[in-house]
Amino acid sequence: MTDSNILTQIDAHIQQNTDYWLAQLARLCAQPSISAQNIGIQETAELVATLLREQGYHAEIMPSDGYPVIYGEGGAGEKTLLLYLHYDVQPPEPLELWESPPFEMTRRGDLFYARGISDDKGHIISRLAALAAVRDVLGELPCRVKFIIEGEEEVGSPNMPTFIWQHKEKLAADACIWEFGGVDYNGTPMQSLGMRGICYTELSVQTATMDAHSGLGGSIFPNAAWRLVWALNSLKDENEHILIPGFYENVRLPSALDLELLAKLPDYAAQLKQNYGLASFLKGIAGGLELKQTAVFAPTCTICGLTAGYQGAGVKTVLPAKASAKVDFRLVPDQSPEEIATKLRAHLDTQGFNDVEVKLLGGGRPAKVPPDHPFVQLANETAVAVYGKEPLVEPMVGGSGPNYPFIHVLGLPVVSAGIGYPGSQVHAPNENMRLDYYLLGTRHTAYIIEGFARMA
Amino acid sequence: MTDSNILTQIDAHIQQNTDYWLAQLARLCAQPSISAQNIGIQETAELVATLLREQGYHAEIMPSDGYPVIYGEGGAGEKTLLLYLHYDVQPPEPLELWESPPFEMTRRGDLFYARGISDDKGHIISRLAALAAVRDVLGELPCRVKFIIEGEEEVGSPNMPTFIWQHKEKLAADACIWEFGGVDYNGTPMQSLGMRGICYTELSVQTATMDAHSGLGGSIFPNAAWRLVWALNSLKDENEHILIPGFYENVRLPSALDLELLAKLPDYAAQLKQNYGLASFLKGIAGGLELKQTAVFAPTCTICGLTAGYQGAGVKTVLPAKASAKVDFRLVPDQSPEEIATKLRAHLDTQGFNDVEVKLLGGGRPAKVPPDHPFVQLANETAVAVYGKEPLVEPMVGGSGPNYPFIHVLGLPVVSAGIGYPGSQVHAPNENMRLDYYLLGTRHTAYIIEGFARMA
């Protein structure tokens, strides 16, 4: 049981050191680190290592197959907590929509604006502030802490799985706090326990060395756009059934506990319909548990883009030599992107589409933490203590991220905690952080660290 | 029977007046007239009227539902020949590929370069030169001549059918020479007697008011790209069979004479395969009469363009709210674009694609002249006299043009004759005219005019 006096002191420490940490955040936000454009990567890696060293951590900049990763270490004790974060940010464009310079932290009321301030530089600072509070109040850190702060999260973390495999021993730990976390529209804390995997492919066809006039070739030349349409049509029928043989073979159904958690989540059906102007959801689903379950526990086959021939205004009578589609499969446990890419290729060959080339542009496996894991319970209980309400626990979310190697290679329970809120405009102009959610997220992180050290 | 002395004098007249007509051609080419960009239309219409008046013709600039049409008239006699031409040109872009300014006629050897010099300003001048030769040699024009010179041919002649309907009496004639003509790769004269019609449509779907993240919506949101793929797939199967009910209902098979003419045409199979890098033709057709017949006497359903969602490099996990396709149907007698558009709409509705919007972006009916018409015979015989070889007669070509109202509203036999050759780069940079083909095409036109006046 935690001495409530300790938590009170932690709260006070965080509150009292707000200005110091906001100054560190301003310093970090002033350094651009745009992974998609290879801007400021090395400089930011060095600054992050410096910030860690200033707090007394050992820090090293480790090479990866892509941009460098900062590894940090400190504290002592039998148990080790791993903190996964990233120092890269999304491109700031369109610049004209920013109300203040994206790489100059600007305060307006209790909102702080900068590119990356929420995603993910504010989280780096919040973790350091939480650790400093726990350390100063207890006299020393009650556990070992490891940092892994990567520079490619905003471009899909392509090298994280390999990096983790290669440094499995060094990264060994007992639990992990993920790079994000925060509250929903009502200020209720959110806990996300799993993410779908992804198999992102590009299907392309080339039927000739150049486009032809449609009057010349229409009756006799193969047409790349038609080949593509027929190939795509073979992947999924109008009832949303994916037709690739074996596609559903490794799909694990949600557990009773997963469904129980889904049932407790708010029903966003009406809000989604309104936000996106939808007439209805697929397969006649109205909302409720069926919608929540389908949204995250069903694998998908989504056409993300189509391109062929003439796409301008009016008429151009051209017969396209090339056509391509981006197709994204969201995967659920225990599917894998390699498995799906192999089955896709075999299916196209069987259907006579040997002319359709498949490129695997990105992949990641699905992974989830059991909702009844003690570390998850700790994160939930501390959320109640900080936010004054039960967190909404999502057993799985529809998106994807590199959580698989943390959960299944390092074998860690992974929880989210942090400073995010729905108005933070991540990836958009005027990305921002709210002071109250910064303080709450930092306290939550500190409470998890303090509690983790005492966990059985 | 023509006095061969008359033809010799016509030849000499054309030869002796070359410099004069080249100067007129330079004057006409110096005036840009880009219909797609609405550049120089009125100025060119006035210049063309002036050129006609300088030759003693009555000329007037008539309004149409689009750009003005020049109507010209001259000569006397019982029979009337209609000359269809156009004064607009294709845009000159890409400018950097031109070796001399596109609107400044430039001579290099016996080639003359300028935008529109072959298509169609050279033909306007060639017709005037031919008429002047016949008039001067005979003392007066042996027939009545009418000109109809439009300014929207390069944007699909959208207003020509209505214009002809509206001025049916004024345009009444006995025969028509089309705006193009010339020789093939071997210098053999070509005669084209028909063109396929066209029904150019845009199919579009909108399933939401904005794109969604594919992780959020993949399992539950309707996807415009999928709707489009399924709708397109319902139009044509992989064996090239068009599935719209009643699509083939009004297809008239080629006549025995049509097939006889096709059989005499060279087999371009190997050349087409090489030029376009094709592995094979559709439906396993190797070449020969089957290829020639399919290429022009089969109606088509061609996807000219596809567009949806993300089309850049790499990965973007987006679920498209909008998707569209350009779909071009080439029609054969007796299909019509209105009929096909109606059947397409009905088919989509029957198949459950009420969400797919169809816009008719352009349409024209197919039309052909009977190969055994006496005016066609005249064009063929005079071609032999001028070029020294039998013309290749195409009963139908794969492309489309506004010949329907000339053939079926005005009731005219329409033949081609002119200055074109395969190296003339029409629609491309460095469009050019060869002096020898200018002289041959002009003589052929003059011989047709001279012979027409004496036809039974």
Q: How far is CA B273 from the centre of its chain?
A: 24
Q: Rounded to a whole number, what is the distance in Å from the CA of B75 to chain A's nearest CA?
A: 37
Q: Rounded to a whole number, what is the distance in Å from the CA of B164 to chain A's nearest CA?
A: 23
Q: Rounded to a whole number, what is the distance in Å from the CA of A430 to chain B's nearest CA?
A: 20
Cβ contacts of B238 on chain A, cutoff 8 Å: 230, 352
β-sheet with A189-192: strand ranges across:
A182-183, A189-192, A392-394
Which residue in B has a C-alpha nearest to residue A328's C-alpha?
A: B317
Q: Rounded to a whole number, what is the distance in Å from the CA of B421 to chain A's nearest CA?
A: 17
Q: For residue B384, how many other CB atoms are within 10 A of its CB? A: 12
DSSP H or E run through A83: strand A80-86
What pTM does this model have?
0.90
Q: Which of A304, A322, A359 to mutate to test the interface with B (most CBs of B within 10 A)?
A: A304
DSSP H or E run through A217: helix A214-217
Is A221 in contact with B282 (Cβ distance < 8 A)?
yes
Q: Which of A300, A303, A316 to mutate to test the interface with B (most CBs of B within 10 A)?
A: A303
Domain B4-195+367-454 has CATH 3.40.50.720: no
Q: Which of B93, B214, B271, B330 to mutate to test the interface with A (most CBs of A within 10 A)?
A: B214
Amino acid at A322: K
- pLDDT score for A77: 93
Q: Which of B220, B280, B396 to mutate to test the interface with A (most CBs of A within 10 A)?
A: B220
- pLDDT score for A94: 87
Counting residues of chain A whose pLDDT is more than 90, the rounded percentage is 94
In the A/B pair of chains, how many CB contacts fall below 8 A?
Answer: 243
Is A196 in contact with B215 (Cβ distance < 8 A)?
yes
Q: Which of A37, A229, A329, A355 to mutate to test the interface with B (most CBs of B within 10 A)?
A: A229
Cβ contacts of A299 on chain B, cutoff 8 Å: 219
- pLDDT score for A358: 98
Tokens representing residue A158 in the block: 């392509």
Cβ contacts of A326 on chain B, cutoff 8 Å: 309-311, 315-316
Q: Rounded to a whole number, what is the distance in Å from the CA of A219 to chain B's nearest CA?
A: 5
Q: Rounded to a whole number, what is the distance in Å from the CA of B205 to chain A's nearest CA?
A: 13
Q: What b/e sequence results for A404-443 when a residue is b if at least 16 CB atoms lie within 10 Å of its CB, and e otherwise?
A: bbbbeebebbbbbbbbbbeebebeebbbbbbeebbbbbbb
Cβ contacts of A314 on chain B, cutoff 8 Å: 361
Q: Rounded to a whole number, what is the distance in Å from the CA of B237 to chain A's nearest CA?
A: 8
A218: Cβ–Cβ under 8 A, 6 or more apart, which residues? A319, B300, B302, B328, B330, B398
Q: Which candidate from A230, A303, A398 shows the least CB-CB separation from B238? A: A230
Q: Is the pLDDT of residue A349 over 60?
A: yes
Q: Which candidate from B196, B306, B308 shows the least CB-CB separation from A309? A: B306
- pLDDT score for B456: 77
Is A214 in contact with B317 (Cβ distance < 8 A)?
no
DSSP H or E run through A18: helix A18-29
Q: Which candidate from B219, B285, B397 shows the least CB-CB separation from A300? A: B219
Which residue in B has a C-alpha nearest to residue A351's C-alpha?
A: B238
Q: Rounded to a whole number, what is the distance in Å from the CA of B427 to chain A's nearest CA?
A: 12
Give how far Cα A324 sits from Cα of A200, B224, B305, Å.
Answer: 13, 16, 11
- pLDDT score for B409: 97
Which residue in B has a C-alpha nearest to residue A207's C-alpha?
A: B278
* Closest residue by Cα to residue B404 from B244, B235, B176: B176
Is B216 in contact with A300 (Cβ distance < 8 A)?
no
The residue extents of the domains of chain A are 4-195+366-454, 197-251+299-364
Task: Identify the three-state secondary structure at position A251.
Answer: coil
Cβ contacts of A212 on chain B, cutoff 8 Å: 276
Is A229 in contact with B226 (Cβ distance < 8 A)?
no
Task: Identify the three-state secondary structure at position A334.
Answer: coil
Cβ contacts of B295 on chain A, cutoff 8 Å: 216, 219-220
Is B328 in contact with A317 (Cβ distance < 8 A)?
yes
Q: Which candidate from B216, B276, B280 shows the least CB-CB separation from A210? A: B276
Mean pLDDT of chain A: 96
Cβ contacts of B274 on chain A, cutoff 8 Å: none
Cβ contacts of B226 on chain A, cutoff 8 Å: 236, 302-303
Cβ contacts of B323 on chain A, cutoff 8 Å: 306
Is B222 in contact with A330 (Cβ distance < 8 A)?
no
Domain B197-251+299-364 has CATH 3.30.70.360: yes
User: What HEC string does chain B produce?
Assistant: CCCHHHHHHHHHHHHHCHHHHHHHHHHHHCCCCEHHHCECHHHHHHHHHHHHHHCCCEEEEECCCCCCEEEEEEECCCCEEEEEEECCECCCCCHHHCCCCCCCCEEECCEEECCCHHHHHHHHHHHHHHHHHHHHHHCCCCCEEEEEEECCHHHCCCCHHHHHHHCCCCCCCCEEECCCCEECCCCCEEEECEECEEEEEEEEEECCCCCEEHHHHCCCCCCHHHHHHHHHHCCECCCCCECCCCCCCCCCCCCHHHHHHHHHCCCCHHHHHHHHCCCCCHHHCCCHHHHHHHHHHCCCCEEEEEEEECCCCCCCCEECCEEEEEEEEEECCCCCHHHHHHHHHHHHHHCCCCCEEEEEEEEECCEECCCCCHHHHHHHHHHHHHHCCCCEEECCECCCCCHHHHHHHCCCCEECCCCECCCCCCCCCCCEEEHHHHHHHHHHHHHHHHHHHHCC
pLDDT in tens, chain B (456 residues): 567 899 999 999 999 999 999 999 999 999 999 999 999 999 999 999 999 999 999 999 999 999 999 999 999 999 999 999 999 999 998 899 999 999 999 999 999 999 999 999 999 999 999 999 999 999 999 999 999 999 999 888 989 999 999 999 999 999 999 999 999 989 999 999 999 999 999 999 999 999 999 999 999 999 999 999 999 999 999 999 999 999 999 999 999 999 999 999 999 999 999 999 999 999 999 999 999 999 999 999 999 999 999 999 888 889 999 999 999 999 999 999 999 999 999 999 999 999 999 999 989 999 999 999 999 999 999 999 999 999 999 999 999 999 999 999 999 999 999 999 999 999 889 999 999 999 999 999 999 999 999 997
Is A304 in contact with B320 (Cβ distance < 8 A)?
yes
DSSP H or E run through A31: none
Task: Identify the three-state secondary structure at position A247.
Answer: coil
- pLDDT score for A2: 61
Q: What is the mean pLDDT of residues A239-251?
A: 98
Residue reference for tokens 């100025």: B43
Q: Which candidate from A220, A309, A352 shows the least CB-CB separation from B281? A: A220
Which residue in A has a C-alpha nearest to residue B322's C-alpha?
A: A305
How is domain A4-195+366-454 classified at the CATH fold level?
Aminopeptidase (3.40.630)
Which ipTM score applies to this complex? 0.90
Cβ contacts of A221 on chain B, cutoff 8 Å: 272, 276, 278, 281-282
Is B221 in contact with A282 (Cβ distance < 8 A)?
yes
What spatial distance separates the first Cα and last Cα of chain B, rounded to whole Å? 11
Q: Rounded to a whole number, what is the distance in Å from the CA of B186 to chain A's nearest CA?
A: 20
Is A226 in contact with B303 (Cβ distance < 8 A)?
yes
Evaluate the CA torsion angle A92, A93, A98, A100 in order and state its sign. positive
| Whole-number Å distance between alpha carbons of A17 and A451 | 21
Is B399 in contact with A277 (Cβ distance < 8 A)?
no
Which residue in A has a C-alpha nearest to residue B285's C-alpha?
A: A220
- pLDDT score for B2: 61
Cβ contacts of A152 on chain B, cutoff 8 Å: none
Q: Rounded to a whole number, what is the distance in Å from the CA of B451 to chain A's nearest CA?
A: 33
Residue reference for tokens 């029609």: B331
Cβ contacts of B291 on chain A, cutoff 8 Å: 220
Q: Which candidate from B215, B222, B399 shows the least CB-CB separation from A282? A: B222
- pLDDT score for B361: 92
Which residue in A has a C-alpha nearest to residue B312's C-alpha?
A: A305
Q: Which of A306, A319, A330, A394 to mutate to test the interface with B (most CBs of B within 10 A)?
A: A306
Which residue in B has a C-alpha nearest to residue A329's C-alpha?
A: B218
